[in-house]
Amino acid sequence: MPTVSAELTEHHRRCWELFGEVEEIVRACDWAAFNRKLVALREEILGHFRFEEERLFPVYEEATGLRDGTRELRTQHDDIRAILWALSSASAAHDPESCREEFDTLALLFRQHTETEEGMMYPAFERTLGPRAAELAALAREEMRALDVRGLEPPEPFMRIMQALTQAPDKPLRVLIHREPFPLYDVLAEQGFGHRARALEDGSFEIVIERAVR
C-alpha cells in the first residue's frame, strides 16, 4: 500500500522532471517557453506545499505536540515561494543572466528542502501518523493529481477533462487551464459534479472537480 512518504517523494520526482525541462529551455534561451514552463513548475511546487501545510503538518503537530521541524519546513517553503514569485515577475528576455542565477538558486534550495524532507521529516511523519497514514496517502495522491490543459485549442481541454472524469469519476480532479471554462461548468452540473475555481497569478485558473454532495 502506498505511504504518504512515497506519494510525496514521487511528487518531488515530478517536480524535478519539470526542473529538468526548464533547465533545457534556459540553455536554449527560449524565454517565451521559459515563462510558460515556469508556471507549470511553480504550480506543482505550490500545490505540494499547500498539501503539506494544510493537510500533513497539522496532523503531525497535533499527534506529537512538536512544531520545530514543521516550522523550519514552512520557512523553507516561504524562501522557495519568494524566488518563484520573483522569477514569475521578472522579464527573462530582458535580463536573462539574472533569471539564470535565480533559477539556479531555486533549484539549490529545492534540492536542500527535498533532502531534508525525504531524509528526516517524512520518516518522522510515518512513525507518528498512525491510522491517518492511509487517509493522508490517498489525499496526497488525489489532491496533487493535476491535468494541465493550458494552451490547448478547443475542444481539446473539454475532451481531456471529460476523459479524465470518466476514467476516475469518484476522485477529485485538479485542472490547470488558461481561461475559466464557463460552458464546462454547466456540463459538470448536469453530470453530478461540483467545482471550485481559483485564479492564478499568471491569469490562468486552477479548478478542482469532484462529485457533488447530494
pLDDT tens, 62-119? 999 999 999 999 999 999 999 998 888 877 667 788 888 999 999 999 999 999 999 9
Q: CATH top-level class for 4-143?
A: mainly alpha
Phi, psi (degrees; rounded to nearest 5) at 190: -65, -30
Domain-by-domain residue ranges, the chain?
A: 4-143, 146-211
129-156 in b/e form (b: 16+ CB < 10 A) is: beebbeebbebbbbbbebbbbbeeeeee
Cell of 188: 459538470
Residue 38: φ, ψ to 5°: -60, -35
Mean pLDDT across the stretch 147-173? 87
146-211 matches 4-143 in CATH topology: no
Q: Which fold has domain 146-211?
A: Translation Initiation Factor IF3 (3.30.110)
